[in-house]
Amino acid sequence: MTRQHTRAWFGLLVILCPVLLVSMDGSILFLAMPRISQALAPTADQQLWILDVYGFAVGSLLIAFGNIGDRYGRLKLLMIGATVFGAASAGAAFAPSPELLIAFRALMGLAGATLLPSALAVLSELFTDPRRRAQAIGVFAAAFAAGFAIGPVVGGALLEHFWWGSVFLVNLPVIAAFLLLAPGLLGKVLAGGSGRVDLLSVVLSAAGLLLAIYGIKHTAAAGLSVVAVAAGIAGAVLLVWFARRQRGLDRPLIDFSLFRDRVFTIAIITGLLPLAAWSASAYLAGIHLQSVLGLAVLDAALLALPGAAVLTIMCVVTPALVERVGKKAALVLCHFSIAVGLLSLLMTGVSGGVGWYVASTVVAGVGYGISFSVVADTAVAAVPAERAGAAGAIAETSNEIGNALGIALMGSLAALVFRLAGPELAPTLDATLQLPGIAPVAGAEAKEAFVTGLHIVAAVLSLLHVALGVFALRLLPHSEKALVPQASS
């Protein structure tokens, strides 16, 4: 291996530091919320914002910061973003009120949006050979996926020994290491590109995504309201304005012509739906393991490790898999394996199902790993190196929006089933079980209703993945040459 390649791989290792943290912080609070609720006593709405505002900020700003990094310098943006992420993490750890915790989580999301697209784009500069770049992106995707997967595990382990703020302080030594090593190993990446970033497009994309995501999530979680509908409509109008404006720009934030390629389009959808399935199933299964089956928080977290291992390994081996069987076969396998894994959750029940849960995460982990790797590589390979940040942002945005919407939409479906089938004593399973003097029959009825909701969510998500798998099977071309998106000039 040449000195240049060695330096590139060390650069990749440094980049993985913030990538792992940004993705891990999207799921690390799944098991920490009960402790936070005890310490800060947030309202029900504030609890949702503590969980969701991070994903809101990341998903809304990725496209904007991907382009800003391309224009003004990726290393500079990485250093600024890492510094802000570390400072916001420290603030969140010691936040004395729900309002301040929400504010620091939002700031962490803003910083995370600066890190992900620039980190992915740097890989296209460190690894110019397409094959090595695909391998590097597979490792990148593995770190990103592993962060999501091990977030609850890390959170559960920390909560066994420390207070709730430790789930944020764990970020600080990793950020410090990145700030120390990045200038030396990444100093030769592009300082910046030519041309200007269209400021109005940046504002339209960020505001439109934020308002649209808020409208969808608020409607799913709390039902229709004037505020939610107005936000959704305003977001849709801004996004349409944004899309129309891109057609007349020499340097658009999103090159919509990329979506004429079927592989690119299905790959981006593959970035959204599997993340929605993963976040919803992980969140609901976590409640099932703890509140229905009575497992301790750390025991529930450790059960996710086999699936996390499979997911991470698949991210690494997917480039070799694609090279052997083709991208079409990989995408089909992705969706069908997730569908089968989700169907395994139908075997869980009020009195058991731990083995079926583990089997579900392992089988679905195959598809989740493929989705992370294929989406990232497809996006970056579709554009010239100087536009890699913007293309990578499209892939990461689909991931983040999928993660954000999965809990809201599918969690709301499960909550609706619980309200219809449960004992009607409280709106959630945990709230019902905590009622003083609750009758054993009512508790059993509440658990049965929750499991029914979990089964319906798993079935719906499985059917959606079967449908997308069939679309990929029927619509994607058989020619391997046709499966490679052509870089736009």
Domain interval for residue 472: 3-197+251-483
373 φ/ψ sector (left φ>0, alpha ψ -120 to 50, else beta): alpha
Q: Tell me, yes or no, whether 175 and 236 share the same domain.
A: no
What is the DSSP track for 72-137?
H-HHHHHHHHHHHHHHHHHHHHT--SHHHHHHHHHHHHHHHHHHHHHHHHHHHHH--SHHHHHHHH
Residue 464's pLDDT is: 94
131 within some domain: yes
Examine the domain organization and report whether 156 and 145 are in the same domain.
Answer: yes
488 occurs within a structural domain: no
User: Are the beta carbons of 423 and 442 closer than 8 angstroms?
Assistant: yes
> Do 464 and 410 belong to one domain?
yes
For residue 338, the model assigns a pLDDT of 95
**Domains in the chain: how many in total?**
2
Of 112 and 119, the one with more pLDDT: 112
User: What is the pLDDT, as a whole number, of residue 63?
Assistant: 73
Residues 104 and 72 in one domain: yes
Considering 250, 268, 284, which residue would you say is the last residue of a domain?
A: 250
Based on the fold, state whether residues 88 and 120 are members of the same structural domain.
yes
Q: Which pLDDT score, from 0 to 100, does residue 81 have?
A: 87
Last residue of a domain, one of 186, 218, 250: 250
Work out the average pLDDT over 225-246. Answer: 89
Q: 288 in a domain, yes or no?
A: yes
Q: In sequence order, which residues have a C-beta less than 8 Å from that of residue 420 and are 6 or more positions away?
A: 449
3-state secondary structure 399-421: HHHHHHHHHHHHHHHHHHHHHHH
- Same domain? For 35 and 157 the reply is yes
Q: Residue 450: give its domain's CATH number.
A: 1.20.1250.20
Distances in Å between the alpha carbon of 328 and those of 131, 140, 262, 267, 434? 18, 21, 10, 10, 49
Band of pLDDT at residue 124, cut at 50, 70 and 90: low
How many other CB atoms are found less than 10 A from the CB of residue 109? 25
Please report, rounded to a whole number, the percentage of residues in the chain having pLDDT higher than 70: 83
User: Above 90 in pLDDT, residue 354?
Assistant: yes
340 lies in the same domain as 286: yes
For residue 161, the 8-state DSSP code is: T
Statement to judge: residues 150 and 183 lie in one domain: yes
Q: Would you say residue 359 lies in a domain?
A: yes
Whether residue 414 is predicted with pLDDT greater than 60 in this model: the reply is: yes
Residues 386 and 239 placed together within one structural domain of the fold: no
Does residue 122 sit in the same domain as residue 202? no
Same structural domain, 229 and 187: no
Give buried/exposed letters for 301-322 (b at 16+ CB in 10 A, else e): bebbeebbbbbbebbbbbbebb
CA dist 407 → 96, 278, 373, 478 (Å): 26, 9, 22, 35
Q: Is residue 290 part of a domain?
A: yes
pLDDT band at 30 (very low <50, low <70, confident <90, very high): low
Instruction: Say what the pTM is.
Output: 0.73
Q: What are the Cα distances from residue 406, in Å, to 152, 188, 328, 460?
A: 16, 39, 25, 12
CA-closest candidate to residue 161, choices 35, 22, 263, 329: 35
Q: What is the DSSP letter of 248?
A: T
> What's the mean per-residue pLDDT of the chain?
79
Which of the four pLDDT bands, split at 50, 70 and 90, describes residue 482? Answer: very low
Please tell me whether residues 172 and 261 are part of one structural domain.
yes
Strand ranges, E, within 233-330 = none
CA distance 439 to 433: 9
- Of the candidates 335, 345, 365, 355, the one whose C-alpha atom is nearest the C-alpha of residue 466 is 335
Tell me the percentage of the chain whose pLDDT exceeds 90: 17
